Structure 1
Amino acid sequence: MDKKFSLAHLTVLGCAPPEMIYIAAMTGYDYVGIRPIFMGLPNEPDYDLSKNKAMFRATKRAILETGVKVNDIELAKICEEMDFEKYERCFETAAELGAKHVLSSIWTPDKAFYMESFSRVCEIARKYDLSVELEFVTWANVKNLSEALEVIETVKAPNSGIMVDTLHFNRSRVQIEALKKVPKEYFHFLHLCDGPAEIPTTKEGLIHTGRDERLYVGEGGIDIKSIVEAMPEVLYTLELPHIARVRELGYAEHARRCLQSAKDYLG
């Protein structure tokens, strides 16, 4: 089976969804993962397509003109200030664009709250035939594979899954044997990127690499091959933000190099 690749929005975050779709088509991707759930983070653009109807129409036109599909949207963040009505509005819009998955992560230590909230997000997403993929993030509150599994197996939502990011997998020190034991049906796509072999010891260090300086696949010290081989064949999403390289190369060339390095590495 031919490997399929998706371009994650964080890789080209300065590009609105229509532009990133054209870049994805031009550089050889099959899918994109877009970020229309605005979280109000510093310097992060608001791409809420449920409110910006002109941008929604332009996104739909880009999909039709290029054949590039939307795989997923993000981020249905589980936290005290989450807005379920906003999530539903964004889920409905995503379904209109053909998306199949919603990416989620957990940012509160209140276990009872996050279990209940994740269950509700899954219920809302199910109305739009969307699955909810829980990502464990090393500086979040659910930060490793076992914690993510606990959520999935407690909530038991039929449309829930786990999304592995190779950077977070490495930095949470998950063992490959643990990954092999996870039911294969939990996996639908994988975030690919590389990073330095040395794992930062501070939250600030973890965030810096995760948001600003990920490496091309095969360039760093992560054993990506073992992670890929421990999982079923899924869609490979290149999430590889690197601020300095974008300044030097531009978004399109950076996106092209992300994809080419991954293809070279995976053979």
Structure 2
Amino acid sequence: MDVTFGLAHLSALHLDPPSLVTAASEAGFVSVGVRVFPATGTEVRYPIAAGAPMTAETVRRCSATGVSVLDVEAFTLDGARGPVDWKPALEAGAELGARILNVIGGDPDLSRLRDTLAELAADASGFGIRPCLEPISYQCVDTVAKAARLAEGTGAGIMLDVLHFVRVGGTVADLEALPAGVVEVIQLCDGPATVPDLPTPTELPLGQSVDGSPRQIESRAHRLTPGSGTFPLVEILRALPDVPISVEVPNVDRAAREGTAAYLKDLHRATTRLTSPDTAGVR
């Protein structure tokens, strides 16, 4: 059985959304994620909003290539943001045809976070979008169990980033304990058994923050191609059959050295090998 998968924007964040769609299509991906809201405080954002020319061009290229927009990212619920902040992201996502909004749980008041998530989910449903919490190893919501407890009864789902799942000690049993259908997307990458000692980048695409812990630097700039590290990727995929895959492998050094087109094609080849039923028995 053939497995198709998409490309997360973070794998090539230096490409604006229309260029991302074209590059993803040429590399063999069937969908993309699009960053419509900054993930770090220093980021600039692409001029992609409902009614904007770049949004229209992204939609046009999706139509021309057959590539769809699976998700838009990355909205942090930090205890201060509310409907006035998330409505533009939802409007842009709806125009792009996305069905998922990537949400980061950054509010330490988990009771308030759950209430805000429920409000966001109610608003998002009117746009045909489901907010999905992404557990991140250095954020307040760091495990799938915590994300599932927060999402329960709100209408929200989970976006599983395998890097953060592994870095907090997640197990296949943790995935098997989740409610059916709560995981909407698997963001796939690989890595070494422990967080490597990484040099701090001088700059990152879109002006992402270069400050932070080794985990943050690894997450933004030094992930490994699926199948080239030690993560139990086959086991994770077996535990979550039929969940869409989004390949999220930012590696700014490799992409610059090899060129974006070659780099993305290698990500697609590697993921194809990993998910092949002949080699992995994933499906």
Which letter does structure 2 place at the counterpart of 1:254? Y
Matched, 1:239 2:238: no
Which letter does structure 1 place at the counterpart of 2:154? A
The CA deviation at 1:260 is 1.0
What TM-score, normalized by structure 2, do the two folds share? 0.88
Residue 4 of structure 1: SS of its match in structure 2?
A: coil
**Which residue in the other structure is 1:187 paired with?**
183
**Which residue in the other structure is 1:35 paired with?**
35
The CA deviation at 1:47 is 1.8
Residue 197 of structure 1: SS of its match in structure 2?
A: coil
Which letter does structure 1 place at the counterpart of 2:92? T
**Which residue in the other structure is 1:22 paired with?**
22
**Which residue in the other structure is 2:164 paired with?**
168
- In structure 1, what is the Cα distance between the partners aligned to 2:44 and 2:57? 17
The CA deviation at 1:200 is 6.0
**Which residue in the other structure is 2:78 paired with?**
79
Which piece of structure 1 moves more, 246-255 or 76-85?
76-85
Task: Flag the 1:89–1:141 CA change in 2: closer, same or farther, 3 A.
Answer: same
- In structure 2, what is the Cα distance between the partners aligned to 1:185 and 1:29? 23
Q: Contact 1:187–1:232 at 8 Å: present in 2 too?
A: no
- In structure 2, what is the Cα distance between the partners aligned to 1:246 and 1:88? 33
**Which residue in the other structure is 1:131 paired with?**
130
- In structure 2, what is the Cα distance between the partners aligned to 1:72 and 1:142? 20
Q: Contact 2:195–2:218 at 8 Å: present in 1 too?
A: no
Matched, 1:197 2:193: yes
Residue 136 of structure 2: SS of its match in structure 1?
A: coil
- In structure 2, what is the Cα distance between the partners aligned to 1:98 and 1:3? 22
Q: Which runs of 5+ in 1 are unaligned?
A: none
For residues 66-105 of structure 1, the C-alpha deviation after alignment (integer angstroms, 9 at most, x for no partner) is: 1100000001211134252231122122112211111111
**Which residue in the other structure is 1:106 paired with?**
105
The CA deviation at 1:236 is 0.9
The CA deviation at 1:142 is 0.5
Which letter does structure 2 place at the counterpart of 1:228? L
For residues 156-190 of structure 1, the C-alpha deviation after alignment (integer angstroms, 9 at most, x for no partner) is: 123x1111111111111012112112122112221
Matched, 1:248 2:245: no
The number of equivalent residue pairs is: 263
- In structure 1, what is the Cα distance between the partners aligned to 2:269 and 2:197? 31
Matched, 1:121 2:120: yes
- In structure 1, what is the Cα distance between the partners aligned to 2:50 and 2:154? 29
**Which residue in the other structure is 2:89 paired with?**
90
Residue 93 of structure 2: SS of its match in structure 1?
A: helix
For residues 105-152 of structure 1, the C-alpha deviation after alignment (integer angstroms, 9 at most, x for no partner) is: 111211122111111111111110111111100010000111111101
- In structure 2, what is the Cα distance between the partners aligned to 1:237 and 1:7? 5
Q: Contact 2:7–2:29 at 8 Å: present in 1 too?
A: yes
Which letter does structure 2 place at the counterpart of 1:184? A
- In structure 2, what is the Cα distance between the partners aligned to 1:142 and 1:200? 23
Task: Flag the 1:32–1:186 CA change in 2: closer, same or farther, 3 A.
Answer: same
Q: Contact 2:145–2:178 at 8 Å: present in 1 too?
A: no
The CA deviation at 1:2 is 2.9
**Which residue in the other structure is 2:266 paired with?**
257
Residue 163 of structure 1: SS of its match in structure 2?
A: strand
Q: Contact 1:74–1:104 at 8 Å: present in 2 too?
A: yes
Which piece of structure 1 moves more, 60-69 or 134-143?
60-69
What TM-score, normalized by structure 1, do the two folds share? 0.93
Residue 173 of structure 1: SS of its match in structure 2?
A: coil
- In structure 2, what is the Cα distance between the partners aligned to 1:211 and 1:92? 26
Residue 194 of structure 2: SS of its match in structure 1?
A: coil
- In structure 1, what is the Cα distance between the partners aligned to 2:114 and 2:89? 21
- In structure 2, what is the Cα distance between the partners aligned to 1:132 and 1:87? 11
Which piece of structure 1 moves more, 203-212 or 4-13?
203-212
- In structure 2, what is the Cα distance between the partners aligned to 1:201 and 1:226? 27
